[in-house]
C-alpha cells in the first residue's frame, strides 16, 4: 500500500460529491428555467387577457362614440331641416287670395347695411396672429367708412374683443327678417357662398320676449324645450354639446320687446351670462334704439345700426316683392315674370314721383306696405299715418270686396274693437311673454265693444277673433287660443287711434321717455291736433323734458296741428330751461337745443348781464359768440377780468371766435402752462415719466375757431400742409370739416369734429401751435399728484363730463366741475382728441385720447388710448393744441 492509496477513496468521494453537485446545479437550472417559462407563459396569458379587455373597452367606447356621433349627426340634420322649414317662408298679409300667400324668404330678401356707430373702443384690441382680426381692424379704420355689409359685420365676431353684435333699428327696419335670413342661411349650409362665413354654425333663434328673467333656463335648455314643444326631437344633451364645442350662432331677437325696463335689464343679464357660459359662440342681438342702453350688455358687443334702404335697395326690394307675389299666384311662368316686371316698374315710378313717399320707402316694412297699397289702390299717400290707414283698410276689407262678396265685419266696425284691444294689450301685455294674450283674457275686454257693433252673441268674441285672423292677418293665433298682432307696428298704430278717439293724451305724457311708447306717441301726433299733448310735455320737470326734447320736437313736426302760442313756447323752452338749469347735464342738454337763429339778441344780452350763476353765464357767453353781433363782443370783452375763472375763460374763447385778430393775445387766458416735471403715466405697471414745459389749450378746438382757418384760405395754402396731408386733401377734394354744416355738430361753440389728423396738423401750423404728444396730453389731464382715473378724481360723475348721457357733442366748457388739475375742460368725454404720437410701433396710426359723447365711461379715463389712421374724419373726433415753451 502506497502512501497515496488513501487518496483514492477520497477522490472517489469527492468525485461523487462533485457529480452530485453538478447534477443538482443542472437540475436547479432546469427548474429555474421551467419556473421562468411558466411565469412568462402566465404573464403572456395575462397580458393577452388584459389587452383583450382593454381593446374591448376601447371598442365599446368607439362604438358608443360612433353611435353618439351618428345620433348627433342625425339630430343636427333633423334640427337643420326643422329650422329651414320654420324660416323658409314669409307670409305676405293682405293679398286678395282665398288662402294665405307664402313666399320664400330668399326670393324677397334684400341685404341690409349697418352703420358701425361705436367701433372706436373695440377695434384696437386685435390679438396678433388671430385669423381675420388684423383685416377686420384695418376695415374699421378705413377713412370715411360708415357702412358695413352684414357679411362684414359678422366677420367682426371673430375679433378677439367682440363677443357679439347688437343690431339697432327702428320699427320695420328688417331686424327680425335679418335674423330669420341668417338662421335659414346657416341651417342650409349656405353661409360660405352668401355671407363669406366658412364655419357651418348651428343657428339658434330665440325671441327675447320669451325670456322672462335672468333666471330663465340656459340656452341649451331653452332650445331643447323649444324643440320638444315643436316636435323636433333631439337628444337631451345635443344643444349643450354644440354650444360647448363653440359650433352655434346665437340669434336673440327683440330686446326692446321686453317692454318693462327692469325686466329688460334682467334679460340683458341673462344674455351676458349665456355669453360668458358659452365662450366664443357668436351672439347677435336685435333691438330698437329707443329700447336700448349701452349698459344693458357687457363690453365686447359691437353696436351697429341698420341703415335706411338706398335707392338701389328700394328698387331691388320692389322687384323681388312683385316677382315673389306673381310667382306664387301664377306659378313660375313667363306670364308671371312679365307681370312682375310691369308692376315693379309702375311701383318704382310711383315711389319716385313723390318725395315724401321716397322718404317712407327707405324702411322695409313701410316699403312692403307701399307695395301692397299700390297693388290695390293705385295711389300712394305721402304721410305715414295715412299709409298705415290705407294698409289697415286693405287688410280688413281685402279679397271679399274684390269679389263683390259681403264683408263679414266691415272695416269701420272692426276697428271699433281692434283699437281698444290694441291699447289694452299695449298697456297690459307689454312685459309679458310674446306680447300675447289668451282668449280668456281678451274676451271680457272686447265684449262691450262687440255689443256696440251689433255682435252681442254669446260666442261673438271667438267669431270676431277668428274672422280677423283668417281674413286680414292683422291678428295672429300663436298656439291654441293665444292671440297677438301680426306686427308690433299695427298694435302701436291702432293704440294711437284709440287714444285719439278718446283724447287720452295724458297717457302719452305720462310715458314720455318710455321707449315702448315712442312710436305710439309719434303716430298719435299724425292723427290730430297735438297742442294739449305738447303743452303737457312742457309742464313736466325740466330735466325730464330736456332729456327727451328730440321726441318733443318730432311730435311737433309730425303733428296735424299745433296752436301758434304753443309753437312759440316750444321754440323758447330750451333757452328758458338754460336760464334756470339746476345742474350741468340739464344745462348742456338745453344748450344743445337752443337755436341761435331763433334767439332775441337783446334778451340774450340782458340775461348775460343779469345772471350770476357761473354755469349759466358760461353757456350764455357761448351763445353770444354764435350771434356775430358787435354788442356781443363788447359784453364779452367786459368780462375778461371776471373773478370766476370759468366765466373768464369762456368769455375769452367766445371773444376769440368773434375776433380772430385777437386770438394770440387771448391765448394768455385760453392756454394753460404745464411746467417741466414728472407724473404717473398710464396704468399701475408704468413708472413716472417726465415732460418738458409746454402750454396747452384749455378747450377743444371749436367750429368757430376752425372757420377762421377756412376763411384765411387754409385749405388752399400749400405751406400749412404736410406732403401726405396735401396729397390726401387734393385726392379726396376736401375743403372743410365733414360736419361743419351739421345743425348740431357744426355749431360754432361746439368742438370741431369730422377733421382728419392732417387737417388738425394744418390748422396747428397756421395757428403757430402743434398737436400735443400723448404723454403731454395725459399729464395735462391727470396732473402730477396721483394716478387718478378721471381728471377730477377716481369716481365717475355724469355732471362732470359729456359721456353716455347726451346723444351729441355739447358746447365746450359745459362741465366746469370736470376740470383737470391744470384747469383744462372736457378732458373726459365730448370728443376724442388727436395727438402727435404714433401708436406704439405702428407707422400709420395716430393716438387719440379721452373717449367721447358716444362711448362708455371707462373710455373717458385719463389713461385710455385709441388710434386711427390720419385720414379718418368722424363725428366724435376733434383736437386741442399745444405749444413748446
Residue 250's pLDDT is 96
Instruction: Decide if 293 contacts 260 (C-beta within 8 A).
Output: no
Residue 149 confidence (pLDDT) above 90 = no
587 or 395, greater pLDDT: 587
- Given a contact cutoff of 8 angstroms between Cβ atoms, the answer to whether 880 and 833 are in contact is yes
Q: Distance between CA atoms of 299 and 856, rounded to whole angstroms? A: 9
Residue with more model confidence, 864 or 215: 864
- Spatial contact of 194 and 313, defined as CB atoms under 8 Å apart: no
Task: Pick 438 or 395 by higher pLDDT.
Answer: 438
Residue 125 has pLDDT above 50, yes or no: no
pLDDT per residue as tens digits for the range 638-696: 999 999 999 999 999 999 999 989 988 999 999 999 999 988 888 766 678 889 999 99
- Residue 604 has a pLDDT of 93
Residue 34, classified by CB atoms within 10 Å of its CB into exposed (0-12), middle (13-18) or buried (19+), is exposed
Mean pLDDT to the nearest integer, 621-635: 90
Instruction: Look at residue 222 and give its three-state secondary structure.
Output: helix
Residue 83: which of 209, 249, 218 has the closest Cα?
249
Pick the residue with more confidence: 204 or 851? 204
Neighbours of 122 (CB within 10 A): 23
Cα 308 → chain centroid = 15
Distance CA(130)–CA(135), nearest Å, equals 10
pLDDT at 18 over 50: no
d(CA 780, CA 826): 11
For the beta carbon of residue 82, count every other beta carbon within 10 angstroms.
17
Lowest mean pLDDT, pick from 41-55, 358-372, 502-516, 605-619:
41-55
Q: Which set of grid coordinates corresponds to residue 219? A: 340656452
**Distance from C-alpha of 266 to C-alpha of 506, rounded to nearest angstrom:** 29
Q: 50 pLDDT exceeds 50? A: no
pLDDT in tens, 838-847: 998 788 899 9
Q: Does the structure show a pLDDT above 60 at 769? A: yes
* Three-class SS state of 103: strand
The whole model's pTM is what? 0.71
Angle, helices 411-428 vs 439-452, to 10°: value is 140
Between strands 248-253 and 202-207, the pairing is parallel
The 10 Å CB-count burial string (b at 16+, else e) for 518-539 is bbbbbbbbbbbbbbbbbbbbbe
Average pLDDT value for residue range 448-475: 86
**Residue 696 β-bridge partners:** 672, 882
Residue carrying C-alpha cell 313756447: 569
Q: How many CB atoms lie within 10 A of CB 53?
A: 10
Cα–Cα distance for residue pair 822/594, rounded to 1 Å: 30
- C-alpha of 229 from chain center: 32
For residues 849 and 833, the answer to whether their CB atoms sit within 8 Å is yes
Rounded to a whole number of angstroms, the distance between the first and last alpha carbons of the chain is: 136
Strands 677-680 and 148-149: unpaired
What was the pLDDT predicted at 850? 84
Q: Which helix (H) or strand (E) holds 882?
A: strand 882-884
pLDDT of 159 higher than 90: no
Q: What are phi and psi for residue 482, nearest 5 degrees?
A: -125, 125
d(CA 117, CA 98): 45
Q: What number is the average pLDDT over the span 491-517? A: 94
- Confidence tier at 5 by pLDDT (50, 70, 90): low
Taking residues 66-72, report their average pLDDT. 47
- Look at residue 680 and give its three-state secondary structure: strand
Burial of 723 (0-12, 13-18, 19+ CB in 10 A): exposed
Q: Is the pLDDT of residue 98 over 50?
A: no
Tabulate helix, strand, coil % of the chain (nearest 5): 55, 10, 35
Give the pLDDT of residue 305.
84
pLDDT value of position 234: 86
Window from 38-52, 454-468, 667-681, 815-829 with minimum mean pLDDT = 38-52
Compute the distance between CA of residue 312 and CA of residue 548 in angstroms, rounded to an integer: 34
User: Which position has the grid cell 338701389?
Assistant: 312
Its sign, for the CA torsion 457, 461, 462, 464, is positive
Mean pLDDT of 291-301: 69
- Over range 162-190, report the average pLDDT: 88
Tell me the three state secondary structure of residue 808.
Answer: coil
Q: Can you spell out the DSSP letters for 732-771?
A: HT--S-TTTT-TTTT-TTSBP-S--HHHHHHHHHHHT-BP
> Cell numbers 381675420 label which residue?
132
Q: Are 712 and 759 in contact (CB under 8 A)?
A: no
Q: What is the DSSP letter of 118?
A: T
Cα(763)–Cα(767) distance, integer angstroms:
6
Question: CA-to-CA distance for 716 and 711, rounded, in angstroms?
Answer: 10
How is residue 685 annotated by DSSP?
T
* Across 135-149, 172-186, 451-465, 716-730, least confident range: 135-149
- Looking at per-residue pLDDT, the higher value among 884 and 97 belongs to 884
- DSSP assignment of 686-722: SPEEEE--EEEESSPPBHHHHHHHHHTTTTT-GGGS-
For the stretch 379-411, pLDDT in tens is: 788 788 888 888 788 778 753 444 344 457 888
Helices (H) and strands (E) in the chain, counts: 35, 21
CB distance 553 to 769 below 8 Å: no
Ramachandran angles phi, psi of 511, nearest 5°: -100, 15
Radius of gyration of the chain (CA): 37
Please identify which residue in the block is written with the cell numbers 309730425: 558
Amino acid at each position: 500500500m502506497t502512501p497515496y492509496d488513501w487518496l483514492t477513496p477520497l477522490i472517489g468521494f469527492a468525485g461523487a460529491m462533485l457529480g452530485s453537485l453538478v447534477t443538482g446545479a443542472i437540475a436547479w437550472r432546469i427548474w429555474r428555467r421551467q419556473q421562468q417559462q411558466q411565469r412568462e407563459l402566465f404573464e403572456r396569458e395575462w397580458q393577452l387577457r388584459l389587452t383583450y379587455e382593454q381593446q374591448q373597452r376601447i371598442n365599446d367606447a368607439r362604438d358608443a362614440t360612433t353611435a353618439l356621433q351618428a345620433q348627433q349627426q342625425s339630430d343636427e340634420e333633423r334640427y337643420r331641416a326643422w329650422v329651414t322649414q320654420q324660416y323658409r317662408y314669409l307670409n305676405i298679409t293682405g293679398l286678395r287670395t282665398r288662402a294665405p300667400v307664402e313666399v320664400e324668404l330668399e326670393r324677397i330678401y334684400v341685404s341690409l347695411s349697418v352703420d358701425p356707430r361705436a367701433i372706436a373702443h373695440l377695434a384696437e384690441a386685435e390679438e396678433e396672429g388671430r385669423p381675420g382680426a388684423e383685416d377686420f381692424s384695418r376695415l374699421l379704420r378705413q377713412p370715411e367708412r360708415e357702412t358695413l355689409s352684414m357679411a362684414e359685420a359678422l366677420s367682426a365676431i371673430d375679433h378677439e374683443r367682440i363677443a357679439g353684435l347688437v343690431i339697432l333699428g327702428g320699427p320695420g327696419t328688417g331686424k327680425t327678417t335679418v335674423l330669420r335670413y341668417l338662421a335659414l342661411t346657416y341651417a342650409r349650409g349656405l353661409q360660405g357662398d352668401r355671407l363669406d362665413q366658412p364655419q357651418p354654425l348651428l343657428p339658434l333663434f330665440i325671441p327675447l320676449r320669451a325670456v322672462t328673467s335672468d333666471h330663465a333656463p340656459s340656452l341649451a335648455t331653452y332650445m331643447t324645450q323649444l324643440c320638444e314643444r315643436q316636435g323636433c326631437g333631439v337628444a337631451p344633451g345635443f344643444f349643450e354639446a354644440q354650444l360647448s364645442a363653440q359650433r352655434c350662432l346665437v340669434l336673440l331677437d327683440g330686446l326692446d320687446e321686453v317692454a318693462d325696463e327692469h325686466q329688460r335689464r334682467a334679460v340683458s343679464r341673462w344674455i351676458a351670462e349665456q355669453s360668458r357660459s358659452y365662450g366664443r359662440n357668436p351672439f347677435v342681438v336685435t333691438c330698437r334704439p329707443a329700447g336700448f342702453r349701452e349698459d344693458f350688455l357687457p363690453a365686447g358687443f359691437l353696436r351697429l345700426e341698420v341703415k335706411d334702404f338706398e335707392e338701389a335697395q328700394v328698387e331691388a326690394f320692389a322687384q323681388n316683392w312683385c316677382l315673389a307675389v306673381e310667382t306664387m299666384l301664377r306659378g313660375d311662368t313667363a306670364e308671371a315674370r312679365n307681370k312682375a316686371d310691369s308692376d315693379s316698374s309702375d311701383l318704382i315710378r310711383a315711389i319716385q314721383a313723390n318725395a315724401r313717399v321716397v322718404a317712407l320707402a327707405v324702411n322695409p316694412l313701410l316699403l312692403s306696405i307701399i307695395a301692397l297699397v299700390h297693388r290695390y289702390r293705385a295711389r300712394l299717400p305721402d304721410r305715414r299715418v295715412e299709409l298705415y290707414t290705407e294698409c289697415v283698410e286693405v287688410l280688413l276689407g281685402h279679397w271679399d270686396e274684390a269679389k263683390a262678396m259681403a264683408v263679414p265685419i266691415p272695416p269701420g266696425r272692426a276697428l271699433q274693437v281692434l283699437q281698444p284691444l290694441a291699447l289694452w294689450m299695449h298697456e297690459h301685455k307689454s312685459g309679458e311673454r310674446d306680447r300675447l294674450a289668451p282668449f280668456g283674457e281678451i274676451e271680457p275686454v272686447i265684449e262691450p265693444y262687440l255689443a256696440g257693433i251689433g255682435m252681442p252673441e254669446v260666442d261673438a268674441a271667438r267669431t270676431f277673433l277668428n274672422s280677423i285672423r283668417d281674413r286680414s292677418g292683422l291678428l295672429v293665433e300663436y298656439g291654441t287660443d293665444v292671440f297677438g298682432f301680426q306686427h308690433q307696428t299695427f298694435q302701436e298704430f291702432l293704440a294711437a287711434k284709440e287714444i285719439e278717439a278718446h283724447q287720452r293724451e295724458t297717457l302719452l305724457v305720462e310715458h314720455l321717455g318710455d321707449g315702448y311708447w315712442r312710436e305710439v306717441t309719434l303716430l298719435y301726433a299724425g292723427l290730430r291736433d297735438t297742442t294739449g299733448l305738447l303743452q303737457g310735455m312742457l309742464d313736466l320737470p325740466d330735466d325730464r323734458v330736456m332729456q327727451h326734447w328730440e321726441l318733443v320736437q318730432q311730435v311737433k313736426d309730425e303733428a296735424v296741428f299745433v296752436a301758434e302760442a304753443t309753437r312759440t313756447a316750444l321754440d323758447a323752452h330750451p333757452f328758458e330751461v338754460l336760464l334756470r338749469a339746476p345742474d350741468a347735464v340739464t344745462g348742456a342738454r338745453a344748450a344743445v337745443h337752443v337755436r341761435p337763429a331763433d334767439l332775441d339778441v337783446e334778451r340774450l344780452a340782458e340775461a348775460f348781464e343779469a345772471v350770476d350763476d357761473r354755469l349759466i353765464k358760461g353757456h350764455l357767453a357761448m351763445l353770444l359768440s354764435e350771434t356775430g353781433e358787435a354788442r356781443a363782443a363788447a359784453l364779452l370783452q367786459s368780462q375778461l377780468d371776471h373773478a370766476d375763472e370759468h366765466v373768464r375763460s369762456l368769455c375769452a374763447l367766445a371773444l376769440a371766435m368773434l375776433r380772430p385778430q385777437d386770438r394770440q393775445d387771448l391765448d394768455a387766458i385760453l392756454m394753460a402752462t404745464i411746467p417741466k416735471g414728472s407724473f404717473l403715466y398710464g396704468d399701475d405697471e408704468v413708472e413716472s415719466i417726465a415732460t418738458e414745459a409746454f402750454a396747452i389749450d384749455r378747450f377743444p378746438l371749436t367750429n368757430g375757431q376752425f372757420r377762421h382757418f377756412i376763411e384765411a384760405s387754409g385749405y388752399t395754402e400749400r405751406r400749412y400742409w404736410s406732403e401726405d396731408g396735401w396729397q390726401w386733401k387734393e385726392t379726396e377734394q376736401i375743403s372743410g370739416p365733414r360736419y361743419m354744416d351739421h345743425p348740431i355738430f357744426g355749431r360754432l361753440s361746439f368742438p370741431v369734429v369730422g377733421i382728419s389728423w392732417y387737417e388738425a396738423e394744418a390748422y396747428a401750423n397756421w395757428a403757430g401751435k402743434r398737436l400735443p404728444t400723448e404723454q403731454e396730453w395725459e399729464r395735462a389731464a391727470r396732473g402730477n399728484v396721483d394716478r387718478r382715473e378721471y381728471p377730477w378724481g377716481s369716481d365717475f360723475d355724469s355732471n362732470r363730463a359729456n359721456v353716455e348721457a347726451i346723444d351729441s357733442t355739447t358746447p365746450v366748457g359745459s362741465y366746469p366741475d370736470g376740470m383737470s388739475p391744470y384747469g383744462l375742460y372736457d378732458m373726459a368725454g365730448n370728443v376724442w382728441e388727436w395727438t402727435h404720437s404714433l401708436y406704439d410701433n405702428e407707422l400709420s396710426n395716430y393716438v387719440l385720447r379721452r373717449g367721447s359723447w358716444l362711448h362708455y365711461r371707462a373710455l373717458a379715463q385719463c389713461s385710455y388710448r385709441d388710434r386711427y389712421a390720419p385720414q379718418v374724419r368722424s363725428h366724435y373726433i376733434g383736437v386741442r393744441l399745444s405749444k413748446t415753451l
